[in-house]
């Protein structure tokens, strides 16, 4: 009988009582949310993770919506979220944003073939804490995941090597700060610019207050400001950078001024 999407690999449940009592075993236990439309890729990655550590529990989902429904149904948060795709171009940035919203405190890593370095950089700037090309060895891949779990960010050397050379002229000019924001973060910033509280923003965008707080934290970081007030000044055009028209947009409709 075929396994259903969303099942949990409970191989760790068969540990002996002595092993369960071992602090090292408890410390190594992780819950990993694996999101990929391809069942074959999910199965292969699950087996690879089990080789690395038999105590890891892998929960499989075909898409971000299934993950959201599971969390709404009471499923525990994951320690790590992995999004798989055939290539970087096949990574749906909206799905990435949904996963980041569903698990605001969980690092998200994307695993895909990297034939488009610029797209991979866009994935990293959209909230992923790592981009793992599929040509990595299993040892390097696992090392990268351990790095992310420890609080780091993994950027493959191929992306650094492929960075476009600096040239004289406009390319030396720093990019606008809002270019680093995801679409959802721009929605939040647009409402911050109207003086909305986190609760009102959460109601307007149909998300939890904790998710709004996570977005605000990222907005402050990516705009290179010190606090929410400075972000609001920047968004209303009173900071060192003017606000682009797209910042005043929310979803498919305009935000009332």
Q: What is the pLDDT of residue 243?
A: 42
- CATH code of 11-161, in short, is 3.40.50.2300
Please report, for residues 126, 146, 231, the alpha-carbon distance to residue 177 in angstroms, rounded to integers and kept in the order given.
13, 30, 11
If one compares 11 and 232, the residue with the highest pLDDT of the two is 232
pLDDT in tens, 110-147: 999 987 788 888 898 889 999 999 988 888 888 889 88
- Percent above pLDDT 70 for the chain: 72
Q: How many CB atoms lie within 10 A of CB 139?
A: 9
The answer, yes or no, to whether residue 43 has pLDDT greater than 60, is yes
Q: What is the pLDDT of residue 44?
A: 93
Tokens of 58: 């892998």
Q: What is the DSSP letter of 220?
A: H
- Identify which of 94, 113, 108 has the alpha carbon closest to the alpha carbon of residue 156: 113
Query: Tell me: domain 176-254, CATH 3.90.25.10, correct?
Result: no
Q: pLDDT confidence of 17, banded at 50, 70, 90?
A: very low
Q: What is the pLDDT of residue 173?
A: 39
The answer, yes or no, to whether residue 224 has pLDDT greater than 70, is yes
The answer, yes or no, to whether residue 172 has pLDDT greater than 50, is no
Every domain of the chain with CATH number 1.10.10.10 lies at 176-254
- Percent above pLDDT 90 for the chain: 32
The answer, yes or no, to whether residue 218 has pLDDT greater than 60, is yes
Does this model's pTM top 0.75? My answer is no
Q: pLDDT confidence of 170, banded at 50, 70, 90?
A: very low
Q: What is the pLDDT of residue 37?
A: 96
Q: What is the pLDDT of residue 54?
A: 84
Q: pLDDT confidence of 238, banded at 50, 70, 90?
A: very low
The answer, yes or no, to whether residue 9 has pLDDT greater than 90, is no
* Mean pLDDT, rounded, for 154-179: 56
* Mean pLDDT, rounded, for 163-181: 52
Cα gap 108→30, rounded to integer Å: 14
| 49: exposed, middle or buried (Cβ count in 10 Å: 0-12, 13-18, 19+) | buried
| 58: exposed, middle or buried (Cβ count in 10 Å: 0-12, 13-18, 19+) | buried
160 HSE (CA, 13 A, CB side): 4
The answer, yes or no, to whether residue 210 has pLDDT greater than 50, is yes
pLDDT in tens, 51-80: 888 888 999 999 999 999 999 999 999 999
């Amino acid at each position: 009988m075929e396994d259903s999407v969303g099942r949990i690999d409970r191989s760790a449940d068969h540990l002996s009582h002595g092993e369960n009592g071992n602090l090292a075993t408890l410390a190594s236990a992780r819950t990993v949310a694996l999101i990929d439309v391809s069942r074959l890729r999910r199965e292969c990655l699950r087996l690879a993770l089990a080789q690395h550590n038999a105590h890891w529990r892998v929960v499989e989902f075909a898409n971000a919506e299934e993950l959201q429904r599971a969390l709404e149904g009471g499923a525990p948060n994951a320690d790590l979220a992995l999004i798989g795709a055939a290539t970087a171009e096949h990574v749906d940035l909206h799905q990435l944003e949904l996963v980041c919203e569903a698990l605001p405190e969980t690092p998200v890593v994307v695993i895909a073939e990297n034939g488009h370095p610029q797209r991979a950089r866009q994935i990293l700037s959209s909230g992923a804490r790592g981009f793992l090309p599929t040509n990595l060895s299993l040892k390097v891949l696992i090392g990268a995941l351990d790095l992310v779990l420890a609080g780091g960010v993994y950027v493959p050397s191929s992306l650094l090597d492929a960075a476009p050379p600096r040239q004289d002229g406009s390319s030396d000019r720093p990019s606008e700060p809002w270019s680093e924001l995801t679409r959802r973060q721009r929605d939040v910033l647009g409402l911050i610019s109207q003086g909305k509280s986190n609760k009102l923003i959460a109601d307007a965008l149909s998300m939890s207050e904790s998710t709004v707080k996570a977005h605000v934290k990222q907005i402050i970081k990516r705009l290179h400001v010190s606090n929410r007030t400075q972000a609001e000044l920047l968004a209303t055009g009173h900071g060192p950078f003017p606000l682009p028209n797209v910042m005043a947009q929310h979803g498919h409709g305009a935000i009332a001024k």
